[in-house]
A and B are shown apart, each in its own frame.
Chain A
Amino acid sequence: AQKVTQAQTEISVVEKEDVTLDCVYETRDTTYYLFWYKQPPSGELVFLIRRNSFDEQNEISGRYSWNFQKSTSSFNFTITASQVVDSAVYFCALRANTGGFKTIFGAGTRLFVKA
């Protein structure tokens, strides 16, 4: 069975602080994909990143960075120098190649960035 756990329900930081959102996943597949999505207060879902199971390189995109560690089944997301516009719910998701192309989402982490 596939499972995604985002243990942090809500996080509150002050602007310019760094913040890390945790994501732990479970799957028996050797080929799988991990995703992060952002849901701002307006409600739409915005794709942030995709990572496949064979690529453990960390990635940086502006103030965003992702740390993928297969040894701990984690795919954590860090925002550096947070801004008020980063306030949103962030979802981590998992799709395995077997199991019919299902994408399973975590419960999400709500991030509040205060000015």
Chain B
Amino acid sequence: NAGVTQTPKFQVLKTGQSMTLQCAQDMNHEYMSWYRQDPGMGLRLIHYSVGAGITDQGEVPNGYNVSRSTTEDFPLRLLSAAPSQTSVYFCASSYRQGRANTEAFFGQGTRLTVV
């Protein structure tokens, strides 16, 4: 059981370049999220999805796009990378357990540097 898989693990981009961070989960979880982690700021929510075809903005959505065409995949797109997007990105999934919400299952992270 692979859990949540993020690719790539490391990436260096030039300012203005575009790229997609991939996230896939094999646990059939309804909910998926993207976070960025910056020193001293914890994890900040970028975008999230409550199911295939449904996405919404988090705390820091500007500069990022997402889509959720399948339950398994939740890619994060940077249309025009900026140095301010240098960060570690985490993808997470979770599901509803009866009336309860489970904890988030995190991927290993993608370290992105924009030069």
Contact = CB atoms under 8 A, between A and B. Distances in A.
Physical interaction between A and B: yes
Interface of A: 6, 9, 33, 35, 43-45, 47, 50, 52, 91, 93, 95, 97, 100-108
Interface of B: 31, 33, 35, 40-45, 48, 50, 56, 58-59, 88, 90, 92, 94, 100-106, 108-109
Contact of A104 (B45, B88, B90): B45
A33 B31 CA distance: 15
- Chain B contact surface mostly: strand
Contacts of A44: 106, 108-109
A95 B40 contact: no
B40 A103 contact: no
A84 B32 CA distance: 33
B81 to A, nearest CB: 22
A72 to B, nearest CB: 21
Given A97-B101, A105-B35, A9 B40 contact: yes
Nearest to A36: B103
B108 A101 contact: no
Given A91-B43, A100-B56, A101-B50, A33 B106 contact: no
A33 B58 contact: no
Contacts of A43: 88, 108-109
B3 to A, nearest CB: 11
